[in-house]
Amino acid sequence: MTGRIARRFAALKTAGRGGLVTFVTAGDPDFDTSRAIVENLPEAGADIVELGMPFSDPMADGPAIQAANLRALKSGASLARTLELAALFRARDADTPLVLMGYYNPIYAMGTERFVARARDAGVDGLIVVDLPPEEDEELRVPARKSGIDIVRLATPTSDDARLSTILASASGFVYYVAVAGITGTKSAGRDSIAAAVARIRKRTALPLAVGFGIRTPAQAAEAANLADAAVVGTALVAEIAACVEAGKSGEAAEAVLSAVRKLSAAVRAGKG
């Protein structure tokens, strides 16, 4: 049986359009608000839900997602709570792929086998662990694959052909192309550079390809989803949460995020076909 990720990309292909992957940090700004966001993402138009696992030292993230991690941790987030949130999401939605993204230490602290078992039970479909390159990921990849959880690999502007071979050798689910060399939420890549990278990666893998980093607007999302198989938007959504929190209106964060997702989704859906 193929997993939810493969089924979703197959469905997108049939529908003749690219997909929208949305990222928010689990538990940001607090568990209940985060739940209200995450549970309603599919209805707002997210094709794949990516959930950040909060970490105290998110080295690959820009200021917006750093702040999201700290807001979540301050309100009691933990890896166990993230898995609870995942399970609640899965109880309401049997089809939308759920991918956890984060850093290795909390997973290592829980124990990779235990984490994988709990993630599987919570209905998680894929993992992106930013600071766990292929050379070091066997202790997570082996149990994850056995449990049917994909290890989604990152390809970047610095990945030359030799490096791409290493990255793609044991990749599964989809490939996440990091469109700019840098941290999240800063620079944006141009259309040509994304198109060239997509062509280069496509030559080496049949896996679906999502593009992220620097994609903020509905137009950018539509363009990236058009060039690849899906576009990932994170910082722009997290910024909606931050704006509400800073204005003292945390209660409005869920609607702000979902409204932004609806706009992104409309653009992505109109982009092809």
Q: Which residues are known to be catalytic?
A: 50, 61
Question: What is the spatial distance between Cα 208 and Cα 94, in angstroms, rounded to a whole number?
Answer: 21
- The length of the chain is 273
Is residue 200 within 8 Å of 159, Cβ to Cβ? no
Determine, following the binding rule CB under 8 A, whether residue 159 of this chain makes contact with other proteins.
yes
Q: Which stretch binds other proteins (CB under 8 A): 28-36, 100-108, 216-224, 261-269?
A: 100-108
Structure tokens at 238: 């997290």
161 counts as binding other proteins under rule CB under 8 A: no
CA 75 distance to own-chain centroid: 22
Q: Which residues pair with 153 in a beta bridge?
A: 175
d(CA 171, CA 125): 14
* CA dist., res. 60 & res. 9, Å (int): 27
CB 210 within 8 Å of CB 8? no
Q: Which is nearer to other proteins, 15 or 109 (CB)?
A: 109
- Sign of the dihedral through C-alpha 174, 180, 182, 187: negative
Say whether residue 193 binds other proteins (CB under 8 A): no
Find the binder of other proteins among 87, 120, 148, 186 (CB under 8 A).
186
- By CB under 8 A, tell whether 217 contacts other proteins: no
Q: Is 12 in the site for other proteins (CB under 8 A)?
A: no
Nearest to 212 by CA among 203, 221, 222, 201: 221
Q: Please state the closest distance from residue 261 (CB atom) to other proteins, in A.
A: 26
170 binds other proteins (CB under 8 A): no
* Of the candidate residues 11, 109, 117, 196, the single one contacting other proteins (CB under 8 A): 109
Size of the site for other proteins (CB under 8 A): 45
Q: Minimum CB separation from other proteins for residue 62, in Å?
A: 8
Distance CA(125)–CA(266), nearest Å, equals 25
Q: Which of 183, 207, 239, 245 binds other proteins (CB under 8 A)?
A: 183
Asked if 235 interacts with other proteins (CB under 8 A), we say no
Q: Does 196 bind other proteins (CB under 8 A)?
A: no
Which residues make up the interface to other proteins (CB under 8 A)? Answer: 54-60, 62-63, 66, 70, 73, 78-80, 103-110, 130-133, 135-136, 153-160, 163, 167, 178, 181-183, 186-187
